Amino acid sequence: MSRLDSFIRRMQAQRDCLNAAAAMIADVPGPVLELGLGNGRTFDHLREILPDREIFVFDRVVNANPKSTPDAAHLFQGEADEQLRLAQARFGRTVALVHSDLGTGTDGDAALAAAVVPLLTPLLRPGGLLIANNEFPAEKWEPLPLPDGVPAERYFMYRVTA
Higher-confidence residue of 67 and 110: namely 67
Predicted confidence (pLDDT) at residue 81 exceeds the cutoff of 90: no
Cα 21 from Cα 142, distance rounded (Å): 14
Q: What is the mean pLDDT of residues 111-122?
A: 86
Provide the CATH number for the domain around residue 42.
3.40.50.150
pLDDT tens digits, 69-78: 999 999 999 9
pLDDT tens digits, 33-71: 999 999 999 999 999 999 999 999 999 999 999 999 999
- How many structural domains is the chain composed of? 1
Across the beta sheet with 156-160, what order do the strands follow?
75-77, 55-59, 32-35, 95-100, 124-132, 156-160, 141-143
Mean pLDDT of the chain: 92
Domain that holds residue 91: 3-160
